[in-house]
Amino acid sequence: MKKIVTLLYILTILTFVDLIATLFWIYGGWATEANPMMHFFLSHSSLSFVVVKLGLSFSGIYILYHFRKRFKTIILNVVLGLNLIYITLCAYHLLGMVFLFRTTIY
């Protein structure tokens, strides 16, 4: 049970990192939002984008937390998978930033 809660905390942090990195790329002019629904909210305002992104993410995290006792194995596997996806996504953001900084310095 404690493992699931720890992984959910990690997922929360990774969600924030993804949010900040996404805004960095978009407002830097180096990327566009690939998700059509999130692109809709971003085209209205940054605040609506942030509220919807965090609202959807935290709602999902809460649902996983709420059902962690009843469906322990399933929830653990889902949370592990989500963490792997977000770790990969954050690594992609990080590699992109390293590439960007290396090309602008030299």
* Domains contained in the chain, number: 1
pLDDT at 6 over 90: yes
Residue whose token pair is 């984008």: 49
> Distance (Å, rounded) from C-alpha 50 to C-alpha 37?
13
State mean pLDDT over 47-57: 97
Whole-structure pTM value: 0.90
Q: Containing domain of residue 91, as a range?
A: 2-105
- 72-84 per-position pLDDT tens digit: 999 999 999 999 9
Above 80 in pLDDT, residue 106? no
Query: How does pLDDT run across 32-44, given as a tens digit for each residue?
Result: 999 999 999 999 9
Query: Has residue 105 got a pLDDT over 90?
Result: no
DSSP assignment string, 1-27: -HHHHHHHHHHHHHHHHHHHHHHHHHH
